[in-house]
Amino acid sequence: MFKSFWRYKYKTILILISATSAIASIFLITALGNGIISMYASMLKTDGDIIVMQKGVADTFFSDVNRSLLEPITTMQGVKSAQGVIVGAGAIDIVPIAGIYGVTQNRLSNYTLTKGNYPNEGEVMLGESIASMLKQPKSIELLGTSFNVSGVYESEIGFENGGVVVPIADAQKLFNKQASFLLVSLVDIDKNSDAVIAKIQALSDTIEVKSTSEFIDNYNQFKIIRISSGVIASISFFMGFLAIVSLMSMMINDRRYEFGIKRAVGISQTAIIFHIVVEVIALTLFAFIMAYGISLFLLDQLQEYEKFQGYLSGEIDMRLFVQLLIGSTVMAVIGALIPALIAARVDPIILINRGQ
């Protein structure tokens, strides 16, 4: 098998490059899409089993919920705690856009301080990425208002690591809203969830109450990301498929002479096609391993790249790994089978003469 790869080394290399690029781009696009969804989902899930948003508003950035609802919510049976969060984005010094999170005192403890203290009013704390980008400043300009930097925190969530956290009272002034959403933690999510959701919903007809899991599954932005990355990944898959089909056709055309001889000496079409398929699977597996390695390396680099503020974070989970392994193998096998089956139908002497 390796002898034929060596004999057609340039085409083998081209096939490897095409397959590796196609697989790596699918890995990257899907992983980055999943990463963004997973980061935002973790942010919401960390503190809440239930999310309360303004009714009829699709995006958390545009939602405005009255914080006075926190009082009746926290006294409800089955509720462990509740808090308001403001999420927004804006220019921070030289950084044109970064996440701004207005949080209450109990949320602050979720951040691991690496330097300084939690912020009081008039202060902010910076995520590690943005602090490093701004060269550990003592104060910053946030949407035209000056704030002292109280400390630096580390978060596993890239969005938070690349943003700033301010006390919710300051965020209310900056964004002129009470809260983007309320997050409610339950004593036992399995027991209390539906009853608490119904009770909160009954408090006001201007709010929409969902479990955070349901919210994440139906959040429009996530759907857009999933669909966009799915479409781009499908295009990459199709382009990779076309490249492999055309390169395999070229390779099989080059090898018509060899296939003609093999058939002339009594080797069956099935055996010849099987041999081609085995070669292609070996090539694809090699390309897959290379693509996986390249993707892991690039995802790691993207996460570390300061200019992206840690916002680009990718995850290659087992499901994506297996799906892509099966998908790319099928793509390559079909790509090889089409020209091989066409060649198998031609009389051996014609294959030999055309292949000379």
Binding site for other proteins (CB under 8 A): 3-4, 6-7, 257-258, 261-269, 347-350, 352, 356
Tokens (6 digits) for 344: 């198998």
The type of residue at 132 is: S
| Choice between 252 and 352, CB closer to other proteins | 352
According to DSSP, residue 65 is labeled -
| Choice between 3 and 319, CB closer to other proteins | 3
Token pair 């083998």 is found at: 12
Q: How far is the CB of 270 from other proteins (least distance, A)?
A: 9
Q: How far is the CB of 274 from other proteins (least distance, A)?
A: 13
Indicate the SS3 state at residue 127. strand
Cα–Cα distance for residue pair 356/344, rounded to 1 Å = 17
CB distance 184 to 73 below 8 Å: yes
Cα–Cα distance for residue pair 219/308, rounded to 1 Å = 24
| Choice between 267 and 338, CB closer to other proteins | 267
Q: How far is the CB of 267 from other proteins (least distance, A)?
A: 7
| Choice between 169 and 349, CB closer to other proteins | 349
Cα–Cα distance for residue pair 82/199, rounded to 1 Å = 14
Cα–Cα distance for residue pair 149/290, rounded to 1 Å = 44
Q: How far is the CB of 275 from other proteins (least distance, A)?
A: 11
Q: How far is the CB of 268 from other proteins (least distance, A)?
A: 4
| Choice between 7 and 223, CB closer to other proteins | 7
Cα–Cα distance for residue pair 248/242, rounded to 1 Å = 10
| Choice between 6 and 10, CB closer to other proteins | 6
Q: How far is the CB of 347 from other proteins (least distance, A)?
A: 5
Tokens (6 digits) for 217: 């599954």
According to DSSP, residue 255 is labeled T
| Choice between 300 and 347, CB closer to other proteins | 347
Q: How far is the CB of 350 from other proteins (least distance, A)?
A: 7
The type of residue at 221 is: Q
Token pair 């009746």 is found at: 72
Indicate the SS3 state at residue 130. helix
CB distance 349 to 202 below 8 Å: no
The type of residue at 192 is: N
Which residues have CB under 8 Å from 220's CB, separation 6+?
A: 58, 59
Q: How much of the chain is in helix, strand and coil states, percent to nearest 5?
A: 60, 20, 20
| Choice between 120 and 268, CB closer to other proteins | 268
| Choice between 210 and 263, CB closer to other proteins | 263
Q: How far is the CB of 256 from other proteins (least distance, A)?
A: 12
Cα–Cα distance for residue pair 235/16, rounded to 1 Å = 18
Q: How far is the CB of 128 from other proteins (least distance, A)?
A: 56
Q: How far is the CB of 348 from other proteins (least distance, A)?
A: 5
| Choice between 4 and 204, CB closer to other proteins | 4
Burial level of 268, CB count in 10 A (0-12/13-18/19+)? exposed
Task: List alpha helices for 48-90, DSSP H.
Answer: 70-74
